[in-house]
Amino acid sequence: MSRVRVHNLAVSLDGYAAGAGQSKESPFGHAGTRLMEWFFGTHAWRSMHGAEGGSTGADDAMASQWGPGIGAEIMGRNKFGPQRGKWEDHEWQGWWGEDPPFHTPVFVLTHHTRPSIQMAGGTTFHFIDATPQEALRQAREAAEGQDVRIGGGPNVVRQFLSADLIDHLHVVIVPILLGRGERLWVDQEALEQRFEVESFSSPSGVTHMVFSR
Amino acid sequence: MSRVRVHNLAVSLDGYAAGAGQSKESPFGHAGTRLMEWFFGTHAWRSMHGAEGGSTGADDAMASQWGPGIGAEIMGRNKFGPQRGKWEDHEWQGWWGEDPPFHTPVFVLTHHTRPSIQMAGGTTFHFIDATPQEALRQAREAAEGQDVRIGGGPNVVRQFLSADLIDHLHVVIVPILLGRGERLWVDQEALEQRFEVESFSSPSGVTHMVFSR
């Protein structure tokens, strides 16, 4: 069976995986880029976005596990864009430009479905109103035997954790206190009992934790 | 100036530094000993309690910083014992037996003051109804130039952090999800900006973080 994986999900020490006040101008809300500095510096991130250089140590090794073996992604609507409620800006095609870094089918969970959008480079956004179980069924079919990545945001990861659908969870503990935003660890008591857990701190100051089974 | 230090404060991944439901029979509430397993295995903890053996690696090195240079402790009433409201059991002298491991004056914060209790081995419990600033003034005086330890629980540490009175904070991130209990990181937005932060994971699976200045 293909596995369901989460990668590079950064969480503040007080448990927030997204800042408050996301908008088109401020995709990470009041957190700014603070949760992602460790990631933006890596070769893996830079090469995803057509740039060269970047670090090639521990953070990069973890970051680069994001792509290989993945055949589809499921993401929340808030990761796709800043609009809420009915789609008013139909021109919006995500934050990532004409050639998004996914290169697979991407299932965007939303109560407001709309036609799929085919982008360059193999990424197609499908908009579905579905339970985690049904979304995973569709994503697995599209992934043709490869793994499915749950791309976030925190709400979506939490729903999949609560439904016990995740096999590999890579979180990155960033030693900052955001104070507000979207919490990852709500109603996850005893989660660790369903996984093997491994932790290591990288020289950049973040701590990688991998829950796997 | 003497420094104000916190040591060995274990926190679950979802931010709880104490379980729910503390009682005389269950001093750690529903958390049981899960937050403290890394600590109980160390030589430092065992020698504090008159036992031999224990690990002598990274966890022990961190645990053993608890004592040296400390001249007084401030603790919350819930660390001293399970009673709430007015003192009904006047026989209660803490969880630690006749010779508690503190060996210094200990200031117990409570709205219900009572006479001091002098124990064996240099520990005296003083019960004071005071702000963090006033408690620290008294503890500093008693410490005679040595450092003051804020011994917990989480509520007390949080109050001292919010009052910006702490110079050294050692927290231990334990990769478990408690789901409920007492949170440490409430209203601590941007705390890290007042400190240098260092993180390292120990082979036992916990991650030590030191905030210092």
Question: What is the rounded average pLDDT for all residues in chain A?
Answer: 96
Of B14, B192, B207, the CB nearest to A207: B207
Residue to mutate among B170, B189, B211, with most A CBs inside 10 A, is: B189
Of A188, A199, A207, the CB nearest to B177: A188
> Angle at which helices A132-143 and A154-162 pack, to 10 degrees?
100
- Domain map (residue ranges) of chain A: 4-83+100-212
Alpha carbon distances (Å) from B144 to B130, B168, B196: 20, 19, 27
- Among chain A residues, CA nearest to B200: A201
Cα–Cα distance between B182 and B52 in angstroms, integer? 32
Q: Which of B72, B8, B71, B73 shows the shortest CA–CA distance to B42? A: B8
pLDDT at B19: 95
Q: CB neighbours of A33 closer than 8 A, spacing ≥ 6?
A: A40
* More confident position, A74 or B50: A74
Cα–Cα distance between B79 and B102 in angstroms, integer? 13
Q: Is the pLDDT of residue A2 over 90?
A: yes
Model confidence at A23, pLDDT cuts 50, 70, 90, reads confident
pLDDT in tens, B55-104: 999 999 999 999 999 999 999 999 999 889 999 888 999 999 999 999 99
Whether A177 and B199 lie within 8 Å, measured CB to CB: no
Q: Is the pLDDT of residue A22 over 90?
A: no
Put simply, whether B194 touches A (Cβ < 8 Å) is no
Tell me the three state secondary structure of residue B104. Answer: coil
Whether B192 and A178 lie within 8 Å, measured CB to CB: no
CATH superfamily, with its number, for domain A4-83+100-212: Dihydrofolate Reductase, subunit A (3.40.430.10)
Alpha carbon distances (Å) from A95 to A80, A110, B91, B184: 7, 17, 65, 35
Q: Which of A181, A183, A182 shows the shortest CA–CA distance to B16? A: A183
Strands A70-76 and A105-109: parallel
pTM listed for this prediction: 0.94
First to last CA, chain B: 13
Model confidence at B1, pLDDT cuts 50, 70, 90, reads confident
Q: Is the pLDDT of residue A90 over 90?
A: no
Cα–Cα distance between B98 and B199 in angstroms, integer? 36
pLDDT in tens, A167-193: 999 999 999 999 999 999 999 999 999
Put simply, whether A1 touches B (Cβ < 8 Å) is no
pLDDT at B48: 86
Model confidence at A50, pLDDT cuts 50, 70, 90, reads confident
Put simply, whether B26 touches A (Cβ < 8 Å) is no
